[in-house]
Amino acid sequence: MAQILVVGVGSMGFNHARVCSELGVLAGVCDKDEDAIERVSKKFNTAGFTDLKEAVNSLDIDGLIISTPTFTHLEVAKLAIENGIDVLVEKPIADSYENGKKMIEMAKNSDVKLSVGHIERFNPVIEGAKKLLNSDELGEIITISSRRVSNFPGRIRDVGVILDLGIHDIDNSISIMQSKPVSVYATGGSHNDIEFEDHVSIMIKFENNKSAVLEVNWITPMKVRTLSLTCEKGFMELDYMKQSITISESKFVEPDSRSQFPPKIEFGKREVHIEKQEPLFLEIKNFVQVIDNNDIPSVPGEDGLLALKVAEAAVQSLKTGEVIILD
Residues 203 and 71 in one domain: no
**183 with 205: CB under 8 angstroms?**
yes
Query: What is the pLDDT averaged over residues 104-129?
Result: 98
Checking if the pLDDT of 219 tops 90, the result is yes
Residue 6 confidence (pLDDT):
98
**89 with 66: CB under 8 angstroms?**
yes
Boundary of a domain, candidates 61, 80, 112: 112
Residue 237 confidence (pLDDT):
98
Residue 186 confidence (pLDDT):
98
SS3 at position 4 = strand
Q: Report if residue 252 sits inside a domain.
A: yes
Q: What is the pLDDT confidence band of residue 287, given thresholds at 50, 70 and 90? A: very high
Q: In this predicted model, which residue has the larger pLDDT, 58 or 252? A: 58
Mean pLDDT of the chain: 95
DSSP 76-91: HHHHHHHTT-EEEEES
Q: Report if residue 142 sits inside a domain.
A: yes
Residue 258 confidence (pLDDT):
61
**What is the Rg, in whole angstroms, of the alpha carbon atoms belonging to the chain?**
22
This prediction's pTM: 0.94
Residue 157 confidence (pLDDT):
66
CATH number at residue 128: 3.30.360.10
Residues 155 and 78 in one domain: no
Q: Report if residue 150 sits inside a domain.
A: yes
Domain that holds residue 241: 121-277+308-325
Query: What is the pLDDT averaged over residues 199-222?
Result: 97
Provide the number of structural domains found in the chain. Answer: 2
Apex 23 CA angle, 20 and 26, nearest 5: 40
**231 with 189: CB under 8 angstroms?**
no
> Beta-strand (E) ranges in the chain?
4-7, 26-30, 47-49, 63-66, 86-90, 114-117, 141-151, 181-189, 199-206, 211-217, 219-231, 234-239, 244-252, 265-272, 324-325
Checking if the pLDDT of 77 tops 90, the result is yes
Q: Report if residue 290 sits inside a domain.
A: no
Q: Report if residue 24 sits inside a domain.
A: yes
Residue 116: name the closest of 312, 277, 307 by CA. 307
Residue 19's region, left for phi above 0, alpha for psi from -120 to 50, else beta, is alpha
Checking if the pLDDT of 253 tops 90, the result is no
Query: What is the pLDDT averaged over residues 244-250?
Result: 94
Q: What is the pLDDT confidence band of residue 257, given thresholds at 50, 70 and 90? A: low
Polymer length in residues for the chain:
327
Residue 289 confidence (pLDDT):
97
Residues 43 and 152 in one domain: no
Query: Burial letters for 210-245: b for 16+ Cβ neighbours within 10 Å, e otherwise?
Result: bbbbbbbbbeeeeeebbbebebeebbbbbbbeebbb
What is the Cα–Cα distance from 225 to 202, expressed in whole angstroms? 16
Apex 199 CA angle, 9 and 162, nearest 5: 50
Q: Report if residue 215 sits inside a domain.
A: yes
Residue 266 confidence (pLDDT):
79
What is the Cα–Cα distance from 29 to 231, expressed in whole angstroms? 45
